[in-house]
Structure 1
């Protein structure tokens, strides 16, 4: 028995092309003749689900601006005294902290892996099908500046960031941004009280107070990040010398079951 072109077109129309492909493979394999009907259908269904989830993950990675990232939690270097343990990496990989809206701040000198860890958290979130957004602060500041005179678009942009399960701001306060952009970034942080935010910065939190003219805003943000979050102070050798990072090898978007 062979599925016809019309049969395959029907699977495509039903958005079940992978199901049809696997069924045809099973039909063509004489070693599968004695497999139960249930096992054959189950295998095709799982293949269809995995294909669907892979497409979703790819879309989420694009939306997060992480599709070119080589970062992954399983690649983070904990062999040296990095300031974070394997057990902690494994707990972060579960995504529970996102489900509970916990914040994470990452500090450390250049090369200690701040951006790598921040991006790895974002990639892992996309794998688990959390809606994620990743920005370097200078880019986020530019986005807010471009929308300064367009209140409606700025509110729409802000609303999209507030709805994301995870927002990552890398190179936090590493470069100067306009006062308007600074205010918008901190309005965003205040608004994300029940959603997870990752901050990666060369500067320790105490420095953040000195950047803001409005002490009340700084207190509100820093209080929430400290009471609802965890701070990782990274240290150790330069991670950028690792072979796979130098080579720019991209992580395969492994399909992982969705979060509940």
Structure 2
């Protein structure tokens, strides 16, 4: 049984979990009394490591501001959607992020793009990557507000370029001003070959150039996205209708 002074020191070191772990080990349980000191300390450190990582990943999930907080790779619906389950599982390992690839989720309204993106984002949080979800219209509102400040736009670009994974929902849904397009270029330039982005869009990549206003800036944005991206068609099934019908049955 550890002393109160030892407990105080552990808590002062922000190791509250270790107090609980050692208390469990201190109880008269056959599992621990038959273990060697090295085995017990290894088990205690492994438990502490897991507790700390769980707390950190939960904190990262909250900071990511996912639209669907309950999204999870294990709860993705695959039947009649044309999704490759093995591909989704592979993406959940975050290898594409380590290779600085992006993901384009293309599909009709309600086809589950956002849910899938949030599920992949949560998988990244579990591996302790910094993730942020945001709708592009909201991001452009932030750009407009930042334009009223001295160096507001450069600060905004820096902020969103530093996330390990950025999820841009409703990509190219609205018409863009020249200022919006230049902002998007700066953001994609900062993130290119350095961090990953998930684009959720109703438009095929072949339509992006026009949606970005055409011209050399649109060329530059596409060049920084399409050559290192994984494209997934989420299909035409309306998942909202599907699950509402199942609820009524």
Q: How does the TM-score come out when normalised to structure 1?
A: 0.85
Tell me what 2:238 maps to.
238
Tell me what 2:226 maps to.
226
Instruction: Give 1:176 deviation, angstroms.
Output: 4.3
What is the rounded CA distance, in whole Å, between the counterparts of 1:181 and 1:151 in structure 2? 17
Tell me what 1:4 maps to.
3
Is 1:47 the counterpart of 2:47? The answer is yes
Tell me what 1:107 maps to.
106
Tell me what 2:159 maps to.
160
Instruction: Call closer, same or farther: CA 1:160–1:41 in 2, change over 3 Å.
Output: same
Instruction: Call closer, same or farther: CA 1:236–1:211 in 2, change over 3 Å.
Output: closer
What 5-or-longer segments of structure 1 have no aligned partner? 248-260
Tell me what 1:26 maps to.
25
Instruction: Give 1:208 deviation, angstroms.
Output: 1.9
Tell me what 2:94 maps to.
95
Instruction: Give 1:207 deviation, angstroms.
Output: 2.2
What is the rounded CA distance, in whole Å, between the counterparts of 2:196 and 2:20 in structure 1? 39
Instruction: Give 1:126 deviation, angstroms.
Output: 0.9
Instruction: Give 1:88 deviation, angstroms.
Output: 0.2
Tell me what 1:59 maps to.
59
Corresponding residue pairs, total = 244
What is the rounded CA distance, in whole Å, between the counterparts of 2:176 and 2:222 in structure 1? 19
Instruction: Give 1:139 deviation, angstroms.
Output: 0.9
Q: How does the TM-score come out when normalised to structure 2?
A: 0.89
List, as ranges, runs of 4+ consecutive aligned residues in structure 1 with deviation greater than 3 Å.
175-179, 241-244
Instruction: Give 1:236 deviation, angstroms.
Output: 4.8
Render the CA deviation track for 1:64-106: whole Å, top value 9, x for unaligned.
212861111121112x232321110111011110011001111
Instruction: Call closer, same or farther: CA 1:63–1:154 in 2, change over 3 Å.
Output: farther
What is the rounded CA distance, in whole Å, between the counterparts of 2:110 and 2:172 in structure 1? 17
